[in-house]
C-alpha cells in the first residue's frame, strides 16, 4: 500500500510541557517518506522551527507530510512553558486523547500513538480519575482489562502485575490474573502481530523459579499447574522459568513473548537490551495503541536534545500493525 493510500497514525500530544511536542516533530522528520501521521494538539506548543501544515481532516495528512508536520488543531486553555506542567491545560490533554480514540474507532486513523502524560498535572487540573493512560483508554473503549506489552526487535515482555509495591505482588498475582494475562497476550500477538501460534515463556515469581519449593512455593503450588493446563488447551507455553536465565540471546530465540510476574522483572531486561527503542503496546483494546517507553522528561524539555527513537519506533510499529505487515 502506498503512503497516500494508507490511513494515518494519530499522535495525541500528551503533556505539552514535556518532550512530547519535540519528539513528535523529530519523528515526522524521520518518517515523512514512510509513515503517514498527524499530530493532535495546540500548534503553539510545537517547537518554533518545525514546519507545520494545518489540516481539517485526517485524510489530508499524507499529502501534507512532505511539506511539514500535519496538525489537527486542538486549542488549549493556557500558555505552555517547557518543563513546567500547567494544570490549566490538563483538560486539553485529556480531550485530545479522547479525540484520538474517536478518530481511530471511526476509521479515520489507523492507530493511536500517545505521547507521555503527567498524571499529577491531570489529577490536579482536571480531577483525572485514572491511574494512567491505559486505564483511561480502557474506559473510553468500554473494554475489559488491557495488558501492557513492551516490545522491541529484540524482545517482547508483559508484566502481569505492574505499578504496585513488590511486597504486594504475591497477593495480587492470582491464577485468574495470570491466565487472563496470557490469553490477552496470545490473542494480541495473533491479531496485531500476525503470529498464528505465539510461543510464550512464563517466568517464575521466585529466584530460580522457586527451586522446587526451597525459595518459594507459588511455582509448585499453582503456576506450574496453570502452565500445564493452558498448554493442554492449546497454548504454546513453557515455564515457570527462572527469570535470571530467560533473557540471554539463545533463550530469547525460543519464544515470541515473555510473561513476567512483576514490573521490574519485565522492564529491566528490555530496557537493558534496547533502552532507546522500546515501545509500549496496549493489548486488549479494540484498536491499536502504541506509545514511547519513557516519560515527559521535564528536565530536558525545550532544550532540543530529546531522543525521538522510541517515538519513531512506536509510530513505525503502529503503522506496520495496522497494515498487517508486522512479523518478527
Position with higher pLDDT, 210 vs 15: 15
CB crowding 19-28: b at 16 or more within 10 Å, else e: bbbbbbbbbb
> Could you read off the pLDDT of 114-171 as tens digits, one per residue?
999 999 999 999 999 988 888 899 999 987 889 999 999 899 999 999 888 999 999 9
How far is it, in rounded angstroms, from Cα 115 to Cα 192?
21
31 close to 81: Cβ distance less than 8 angstroms: no
Q: Which helix (H) or strand (E) holds 184?
A: helix 175-193
- The closest of 313, 302, 283, 324 to 113, measured between CA atoms, is 313
Task: Tell me the average pLDDT of the chain.
Answer: 94
152 close to 274: Cβ distance less than 8 angstroms: yes
Instruction: Indicate whether 66 pLDDT > 60.
Output: yes
> What percent of the chain clears pLDDT 90, i.e. is strictly above it?
86
Instruction: Indicate whether 328 pLDDT > 50.
Output: no
Q: What backbone torsions phi and psi does residue 230 show, to the nearest 5 degrees? A: -75, -30
pTM strictly above 0.85: yes
Which residues, listed in sequence order, are joined to residue 238 by a DSSP beta bridge? 201
Query: What is the per-residue DSSP string for 286-298?
Result: SS-EEEESS---T
Instruction: Indicate whether 77 pLDDT > 60.
Output: yes
DSSP state of 319: H
Q: Which residue has the cell 499529577?
A: 120
| CA 67-23-70 angle, 5° bins | 30
> Could you read off the pLDDT of 283-310 as tens digits, one per residue?
999 999 999 988 999 999 999 999 999 9
pLDDT, residue 145, reads 87
- The closest of 96, 111, 124, 122 to 21, measured between CA atoms, is 96
Binding positions for a divalent metal cation are 163, 208, 263
- In the chain, the DSSP E strands lie at 9-12, 37-41, 52-54, 69-73, 111-114, 147-151, 156-159, 199-203, 236-241, 257-260, 279-283, 289-292
- In 124-215, the DSSP E strands lie at 147-151, 156-159, 199-203
133 close to 246: Cβ distance less than 8 angstroms: no
User: Which CATH number is 1-143+285-328 given?
Assistant: 3.40.718.10
CA 288 to chain centre: 10
Binding positions are 133-134, 163, 208, 263, 271, 280, 289
Integer angstrom CA distances of residue 149 from 160, 180, 293, 317: 10, 14, 10, 13
Binding positions for substrate are 133-134, 271, 280, 289
Burial (CB count within 10 angstroms: exposed 0-12, middle 13-18, buried 19+), residue 158? buried
Q: Domain-by-domain residue ranges, the chain?
A: 1-143+285-328, 147-284
Q: Which residue has the cell 519485565?
A: 266
Fold: same for 1-143+285-328 and 147-284: yes
Neighbours of 272 (CB within 10 A): 10
Given the candidates 3.40.50.150, 3.90.1200.10, 3.40.718.10, 3.30.200.20, the CATH classification of the domain at 147-284 is 3.40.718.10
pLDDT, residue 105, reads 95
At residue 30 the predicted structure's pLDDT band, cuts being 50, 70 and 90, is very high
> Could you read off the pLDDT of 216-246 as tens digits, one per residue?
999 999 999 999 999 999 999 999 999 999 9
pLDDT, residue 140, reads 93
209 close to 170: Cβ distance less than 8 angstroms: no
How far is it, in rounded angstroms, from Cα 196 to Cα 4?
29
At residue 327 the predicted structure's pLDDT band, cuts being 50, 70 and 90, is low
pLDDT, residue 142, reads 87
pLDDT, residue 33, reads 85
- The closest of 204, 327, 306, 321 to 262, measured between CA atoms, is 204
Amino acid at each position: 500500500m502506498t503512503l497516500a493510500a494508507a490511513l494515518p497514525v494519530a499522535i495525541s500530544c500528551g503533556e505539552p510541557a514535556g518532550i512530547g511536542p519535540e519528539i513528535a516533530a523529530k519523528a515526522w522528520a524521520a518518517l515523512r517518506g514512510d509513515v503517514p501521521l498527524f499530530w493532535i494538539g495546540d500548534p503553539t506548543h510545537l517547537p518554533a522551527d518545525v514546519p507545520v501544515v494545518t489540516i481539517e481532516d485526517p485524510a489530508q495528512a499524507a499529502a501534507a507530510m512532505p511539506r511539514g508536520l500535519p496538525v489537527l488543531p486542538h486549542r488549549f486553555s493556557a500558555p505552555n512553558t517547557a518543563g513546567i506542567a500547567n494544570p490549566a491545560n490538563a483538560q486539553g490533554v485529556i480531550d485530545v486523547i479522547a479525540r484520538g480514540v474517536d478518530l481511530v474507532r471511526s476509521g479515520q486513523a489507523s492507530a493511536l500513538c500517545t505521547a507521555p502524560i503527567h498524571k499529577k498535572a491531570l489529577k490536579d487540573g482536571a480531577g483525572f480519575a485514572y491511574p494512567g493512560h491505559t486505564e483511561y483508554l480502557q474506559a473510553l473503549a468500554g473494554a475489559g482489562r488491557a495488558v501492557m506489552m513492551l516490545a522491541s526487535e529484540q524482545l517482547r515482555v508483559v508484566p502481569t502485575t505492574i505499578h504496585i509495591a513488590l511486597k504486594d505482588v504475591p497477593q495480587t498475582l492470582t491464577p485468574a490474573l495470570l491466565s487472563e494475562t496470557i490469553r490477552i497476550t496470545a490473542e494480541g500477538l495473533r491479531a496485531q502481530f500476525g503470529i498464528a501460534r505465539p510461543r510464550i515463556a512464563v517466568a517464575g515469581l521466585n529466584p530460580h523459579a522457586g527451586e522446587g519449593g526451597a525459595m518459594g512455593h507459588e511455582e509448585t503450588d499453582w503456576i506450574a499447574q496453570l502452565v500445564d493446563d493452558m498448554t493442554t488447551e492449546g497454548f504454546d507455553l513453557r515455564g515457570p522459568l527462572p527469570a535470571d536465565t530467560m533473557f540471554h540471546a539463545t533463550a530469547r530465540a525460543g519464544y515470541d513473548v515473555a510473561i513476567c510476574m512483576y514490573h521490574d522483572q519485565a522492564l529491566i531486561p528490555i530496557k537493558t537490551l534496547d533502552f532507546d527503542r522500546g515501545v509500549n503496546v496496549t493489548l486488549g483494546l479494540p484498536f491499536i495503541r502504541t506509545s514511547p517507553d519513557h516519560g515527559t522528561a521535564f528536565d530536558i524539555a525545550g532544550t532540543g536534545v530529546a531522543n525521538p527513537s522510541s517515538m519513531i519506533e512506536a509510530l513505525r510499529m503502529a503503522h506496520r500493525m495496522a497494515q498487517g505487515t508486522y512479523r518478527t
